[in-house]
Amino acid sequence: SSCGPAFASPRPPPTSGSPRAAALRPTAMGAQTSVSVKQEPRPVPMTLHVYDLGQSGEIQTLNTVLSQMGTGAFHCGVEIFGREWSFQATPRGTGVFSVPPQGCMAHTFRSSVNMGMTTVAESEVMRLLELMRKEWSGGSYEMLTRNCCHFCDELCRSLGVGPIPLWTTNLAGAGARAKAVYDVAIDSLYPTLLMGCFSGKGHYHDDGLPSKGDVRAHQVRLSSRLGQPLF
């Protein structure tokens, strides 16, 4: 019939020089050697750690209010293979850095989000991070459009577990009401919040913080870009 015979004819024994024979050749103890099989990478968990910006209680209060509008002012880092990776503004060099999980001392830990599992091998993750170190220079930081949360989102997407929750990244589009609340807190945000909000082209103090004049100038530039008052 078209389904073929009910019993397959026996295979001829392998010749001594064939690969199959070599794989099955008995060892001195009578055991057979095993065929080398490439193992799939072991799934590894990825976690997004979310912080209230700075160490001021006012920022935590601000985020409590902004959370009712589905947004907030956050710092984020992605934990993978025992390190937490993030992005910050620097006058020169890369803005990518790592700390122990939940160990960013410049900000106040808030919560963790389970992002799922990635099967990308550790060596490939390190290669990706090395590329991102070149692409994410400290001078490219923008407070609302290219910050630590956007870095974390790209890293998670690249490793197959993104995007990160929208409420961590959507402050720029949260609307006039959220911006009005943000305006009230602007003075308390300086310098802990704004220390990482500039492109490295302004005037930095000896402690690495932007000058207050640059804070105001940056607000004006962002307001002009978005076509509405921002702060």
Which among 79, 116, 125 is positioned nearest to 101, based on CA atoms?
A: 79
Cis peptide before 163 (omega within 30 of 0): yes
* Segment 202-230 mean pLDDT: 45
* Segment 185-212 mean pLDDT: 44
Look up residue 161 and give its two tokens. Answer: 């577990």
Which among 223, 224, 139 is positioned nearest to 182, based on CA atoms?
A: 223
Name residues whose C-beta falls within 8 Å of residue 67's C-beta, 6 or more positions apart in sequence: 167
Q: What is the pLDDT of residues 15-46, one digit of tens each?
A: 555 544 444 444 455 555 555 566 777 899 99
Name residues whose C-beta falls within 8 Å of residue 209's C-beta, 6 or more positions apart in sequence: 191, 194, 195
Model confidence band, residue 145 (pLDDT cutoffs 50, 70, 90): confident
- What's the CA angle centered on 41, arms 46 and 126, to 5 degrees? 60
Model confidence band, residue 214 (pLDDT cutoffs 50, 70, 90): low
Q: What is the pLDDT of residues 175-188, one digit of tens each?
A: 666 656 666 555 44
Which among 208, 206, 207, 204 is positioned nearest to 218, based on CA atoms?
A: 204
Residue-level pLDDT at 154: 97
At residue 138, what are phi and psi to the nearest 5 degrees?
A: -60, -30
